[in-house]
Every structure is written in structure tokens, then in C-alpha cells.
Amino acid sequence: NQVGGNDELLFDGASFMCDAGGTLVHRAAGFREDLTVVELGADGACHGEIQPYPDAIASVREALVLGTRDYVHKCGFENVVLGLSGGIDSAVTCAIAVEALGAEHVLGVAMPSRFSSDHSVNDAVALAEALDVRLLTIPIRDIHHAMERDLAPWFAGTEPGIAEENIQARIRGNLLMALSNKFGRLLLTTGNKSEIAVGYCTLYGDMCGGLAVISDLPKTTVYELARHMNDHASREIIPLSTIEKPPSAELRPDQHDQQSLPPYDILDAILHRYVELDESIDDIIQAGFEQATVRKVARLVDLNEYKRKQMATGLKVTSRAFGIGRRMPIAAKF
């Protein structure tokens, strides 16, 4: 079996051999190169070694580590940069990058605004310290204020909304791209599959970058992976407060994801059926999900195809990923 990453596609290795009766008698290592010899007896008996294969969540971790390492190196980079918000997505992405490349090759950037909570800033610092990653802190308050001031005459008489919130994300994207460009570091984006599916992300903002490490991970799996990575490391590399606090983009006061989206366990279950299993809206409703919620989610998925067309290459770990696995039109209706 092939092993390694090529763009979105990840190959896990784990070549195996069965005897004449179909019994597994040999399996090579998974997610790394391996060379083994299998003895074939004159009577047809095979004698080999069965290497253990990681469980489901460990396989996800190893696949993302392998895919990140191969993509970065095959594209001619040694170092990466990413924004650290204190949230779960950037924390998991950073931990994957450190395992793939080594802490010395990973640069984290915290870019607090006036809406950033103290605990998020502290969580970003704690993560960087736990992973031994260099952390730059570049407050965006002054840049944000300057843009608000310059846009004020043209926004006058309108209610503040998404446009104003997205200014912050685009400031951060601009700063990260400047650091990437100046120092030759590949920028990693940190969006998860749930948010990318429904467009809960900012084009030319948090979507900026060259590799979307966790873009095929539903939000519920991101939490599961975070806990697994702490268990795997036998210490708290991802702060417990990051895992336990309500997720928030922190682009306005007292903002939480569930103000705009269904609870992630419900959202991910609907997305699994709609995106990966290709079930119809009616079939999903008949499975027991609330009709209005299903129709809203499906509508958001369809409306935000234009964003996904411009997203960075993502690593495929589910049965159907956006990009190579799901090609849909933007303007044409279906």
C-alpha cells in the first residue's frame, strides 16, 4: 500500500497479507514507511508479524500529522505560521503542526481585539508554552479603529452587522499573510468542516492560507481529537479551559457560536447525512431532525459553495471531503 500525503489524499500504508483461508497473518506499520519480510512455507503457510493499527481517533491524528508533514515539505517549506485565538480549532491545528514538524518550525500569532476575552488570550499563551512554540502577540485594536474611522462616513446611517465583524478577521488574515510572505512560512488555516460547510468563516480572513489542516473534521471530532491529543501526550498540551468553554468567534460582545448555528452535535449529524451520505432534505427530516433546522443547514451549505471554491487545500479524513470529494456548481441551481 502507498503511504504518505499527496495534496488532499492521505495514504495510510499498513500493507497486509492473508493466508489461503483469508486469515490475517501479516500487517505492516500504518502511517509510516515500513519494510518487512514474510516467509511463505511450502505448504502455503505464511508467517509474518501483525503490527497494531491505531483506533479511529488515533488514526485521524496520525493521518493529519502525516498529511501536514508531507504537504509542507513537498511544497518546499520548512516552517509554518498560524493564528492562535485561544480557541479549540487553532489549538488542535497547532498541536498537529508541532507533532508533524517540530515546535521549532511552528510560529503562533495572537491578534487580540477589543472583543477578545482575557481567558482566550491566556489560553493562547498557555498552549504556546505547553507546545514550546514561539508566540507573537500583535494587538489589532489600533488597526481596527483606523478602518472603522475611515469607513464611518460610508457606513453612516446603517446598522452595524457582519460587515463590521468581518473587518477584524480580514485584518488578522492580512497580518498572517504578511508574516508568511516575509519569512517564507506556509500559513495554516484553522477552520473545521462544520463551520466551512455552513459558511461560518470569513473569506480573505480566517480562510487565508495554504493548507487547511482540519477542514475535514466536524467540530465534534475536533473536541474528541483535542482530548485524545492530551491523552496521547500524557499531559495537558491543549488547555482544558479551551476544550470546555463555549466556542466563540469573539467578533462582537458576548458572542457564541450557538447564537448563529444549531448545537454542534445536531449540526454535525445533519451535515454527515447531507454532505457525506448525500441524503435528501426530506430523508433527513424523516430521520427525526427538526424540519426548520434541516432546511436552514441545507440552505447554508448550498449558499456557501462560493466560499469553499476559494478555500485552501484540505486534508481528507472522512468518506467525503469538500473540494476533491464534492464538486458542486455555484451559480447554477439544482
Mean pLDDT, rounded, for 193-214: 96
Domain at 56-257: CATH architecture: 3-Layer(aba) Sandwich (3.40)
- Residue 186 confidence (pLDDT) above 70: yes
Three-class DSSP category at 107:
strand
Q: What's the pLDDT tens digit per position in 229-286?
A: 999 999 999 999 999 987 766 666 666 666 778 899 999 999 999 999 999 999 999 9
Which comes out higher in pLDDT, residue 94 or 37?
94
Mean pLDDT, rounded, for 13-31: 82
Q: How far is CA 169 from the centre of its chain?
A: 17
- Residue 43 confidence (pLDDT) above 80: no
Quick one: pLDDT at residue 42?
Answer: 67
Lowest mean pLDDT among 32-41, 158-167, 315-324: 32-41
Mean pLDDT, rounded, for 72-89: 97
E strand intervals along the chain: 3-6, 9-12, 16-18, 24-27, 39-40, 46-47, 80-83, 106-110, 134-137, 186-189, 211-212, 313-314
Q: How do the domains of the chain map onto residue ranges?
A: 3-47, 56-257
pTM across the whole model: 0.91
Which comes out higher in pLDDT, residue 117 or 262?
262
Q: What's the pLDDT tens digit per position in 224-243?
A: 999 999 999 999 999 999 99
Run of H or E residues at 331: none
Rounded Cα–Cα distance for residues 20 and 38 (Å): 14
Which comes out higher in pLDDT, residue 258 or 134?
134
- Residue 44 confidence (pLDDT) above 70: no
Quick one: pLDDT at residue 253?
Answer: 67
Q: What's the pLDDT tens digit per position in 286-314?
A: 999 999 999 999 999 999 999 999 999 99
Q: Which residues pair with 46 in a beta bridge?
A: 40
Rounded Cα–Cα distance for residues 78 and 80 (Å): 7
Lowest mean pLDDT among 96-100, 116-120, 188-192: 116-120
Quick one: pLDDT at residue 334?
Answer: 63
Three-class DSSP category at 39:
strand
